[in-house]
Amino acid sequence: MFDHRSLLSWRGVRRFVTAGIALAFFCAVGATSVIAAETKSLTGVKTCSGLLPTTPFTQTCVINPSTLKILRGGTSHYLDIVFYNSAGVPVPRSSATYLSSPMLFTAIDENQSTATGRCTFFIGGPTAGTGHCEWWSGTDRLAGFESNWVIGTIAPHVFSINGTYSFDRGHAEGD
């Protein structure tokens, strides 16, 4: 004869085990997300070539020093500089308030790791000499790189970097 009590008991054990597995999974995923999302500070200095007379306008900057090791000695390339007035309309350089460009950072590690972003720099108005950069993806050692930089002017073609960064992956951050 079939014992319904043992079936009910087995269902209870299965539910308990399933709930335990689900809880362990969500705790592990949550812990990984917290670790991966840890934001750290960085500082550095970038020395730039100045505007290069290319079409489109470009510029290259070398970062050194930097508190984030993977950035040291690497280059930030302004890929397509466009000048804007204060209303955000593209204008000739002579009447611009700021410039903005897509960016490519290339590290000097063995894989030439890269990061993709955008920088904006104010060349006129009350915020002249300051800017910001946002980085949202990368390759190799910069995979999952996300960073926000505040840029300040130290001297002609020399700029301070102060910001934060994180990596949305589970291995070493490159520092």
Tell me: the pLDDT tens digits for 10-20?
Answer: 455 455 445 44
Give the pTM: 0.75
- Report which DSSP code applies to 71: G
Q: Please say whether the dihedral angle defined by the alpha carbons of residues 107, 112, 113 and 119, taken in this order, is positive or negative.
A: positive
Span 51-63, mean pLDDT? 92
Residue in the block written with tokens 């950069």: 133
- What are 93's two structure tokens? 């350089």
- Report which DSSP code applies to 126: T
Residue from 89, 94, 100 nearest 57 by CA = 100
- What are 174's two structure tokens? 């490159």
Alpha-carbon separation of residue 129 from 108, 155, 160 (angstroms): 28, 10, 11
Q: Which residues contact 73 (CB under 8 A, 6 or more apart)?
A: 62, 63, 64, 107, 108
Q: Check if the beta carbon of residue 80 is closer than 8 Å to that of residue 102.
A: yes
Q: Phi/psi of residue 35, each to 5°?
A: -65, -45
Domain ranges of the chain: 1-36, 39-167
Q: What share of the chain is helix, strand, coil (3-state, %, to 5)?
A: 25, 45, 30
SS3 call for 2: coil
Structural domain 39-167, CATH architecture: Beta Barrel (2.40)
Query: Is the bond leading into 53 cis (omega within 30 degrees of zero)?
Result: no
SS3 call for 109: coil
The reported pLDDT for the residue numbered 54 is 87
Of the pLDDT bands very low, low, confident and very high (cuts 50, 70, 90), residue 53 is: confident
Tell me: the pLDDT tens digits for 74-108?
Answer: 999 999 999 999 999 999 999 999 999 999 999 99
